[in-house]
Amino acid sequence: MPLKPDLPLPEAEPQRVGYAIVGLGQLTVDELVPAVRTSEHAHVVAFVTSETEKGLALARAVGLGEDDVYTYDDFEQLTGRKDVDAVYIVLPNALHREYVERAAKIGKHVLCEKPLGMNADDARAMVEACNSAGVLLMTAYRCQYTPEHWAARDAVHSGKLGKVKLLDSIHVQVEDDPEAWRLKKELAGGGPLVDVGIYCVNTLRFVLGQEPQWVFAALHQPDGDPRFVEVEESLSFMLGFPGGLIANGLTSYGARTTSTLRVLGEKGSLLMDPAFPYVGVRLSLTDEQGELTPSFPSSDQFSQEFDHFAQCIREGRRPWTPGEEGVQDHVVMDAIYESARTGQVVRLKTGQGKDAFRGTPPEVPGRD
């Protein structure tokens, strides 16, 4: 039966960019492994974990063998693996720097989960380590790779909304396990801000292509709740951007999942709601004609990341969200925490020009 001869097929496995995934938490099992298997240019060739049994099971599940599972102590054995082009660090935040530095030392490119580090200084050190070693570093900001978020950004930059005046973003979810590492300051570096609020900060910066000049913030850390002994429960922040633009943000580990982004312009407004889920991001644009909900080609956020970094590795290009992009969010978040502590506005040096900390734009499905 003659079928269309030109269907795009994924690359053959051996030619793809090979990743070792470091850390086998829920994100790895539920999202990353399925995503890499359906990507175009990447494949997973090794796992690094302290849980050997789990690593072996997952390896078997994806057609890998015993030799493809490493302990953290054996991490440097990846040196000899020619098929490992890059490592993907999916560990608690406090371990990011160590493993990024160890990866750089053995000459592997690094894709690192957000937040990049524990704070701006920590993250800067990671950037320097990778620069010195001549490997690429990418911060895994999946929302800078979706058609929906790019359409939001394009609506802002095309003038479709008229001059933008105000923005608003919310990202909250419930963390109910007092033992979760995300609630330990030494492991996470902060509370909901660095885990979920970072999406607000990062996406506000992304859609504007600009950097905040000042920050004000307030937080709440309730007495008597064992979850919030070390980190904040809820936090509100205000960011002042060039030209008088102001953005409000809310984040929390104490409220049921909500994620939104709203941009208010003189001619129209845009709403992403939900703004930050893995699937089902919904964008609408409202102007005097009414409300438009554009349709988008389906795409997998994690596959997009795997493929973008794979192509950057092949072509020696700087990723769209390099380490510097991760550093800048830490700069802003450090200021947010400082403002919340002092009750004072904190001023920031801004980046120079549009997209000051970003690299080569990604290919986005359905975008010209």
How far, in Å, CA of 262 to CA of 269, rounded? Answer: 7
Q: Which is nearer to its own copies, 23 or 322 (CB)?
A: 23
Which residue in the block uniquely carries the two structure tokens 């950057």? Answer: 312
Least separation in angstroms between CB 304 and its own copies: 15
The alpha carbon of 172 is separated from its chain's Cα centroid by a whole number of angstroms, namely 16
Least separation in angstroms between CB 23 and its own copies: 7
**From 114, 145, 253, 337, the catalytic residue:** 114
Least separation in angstroms between CB 322 and its own copies: 26
Peptide bond just before 115 cis, omega within 30 deg: yes
Least separation in angstroms between CB 316 and its own copies: 25
Q: Which is nearer to its own copies, 229 or 279 (CB)?
A: 279
Strand ranges for 126-275 from DSSP E: 137-139, 164-174, 214-220, 234-240, 246-252, 254-265, 269-272
Q: Which is nearer to its own copies, 209 or 240 (CB)?
A: 240
Q: Which is nearer to its own copies, 55 or 319 (CB)?
A: 55
Least separation in angstroms between CB 118 and its own copies: 15
**From 70, 199, 253, 337, the catalytic residue:** 199
How far, in Å, CA of 309 to CA of 322, rounded? Answer: 10
How far, in Å, CA of 345 to CA of 238, rounded? Answer: 9
The alpha carbon of 215 is separated from its chain's Cα centroid by a whole number of angstroms, namely 21
Nearest CA among 55, 21, 57, 56 for reference residue 37:
21
Q: Which helix (H) or strand (E) holds 45?
A: strand 42-48
Catalytic residue status for 114:
yes
* CB neighbourhood size of 237 (10 A): 27
Catalytic residue status for 349:
no
Q: Which is nearer to its own copies, 157 or 160 (CB)?
A: 160
Catalytic machinery residues: 114, 199
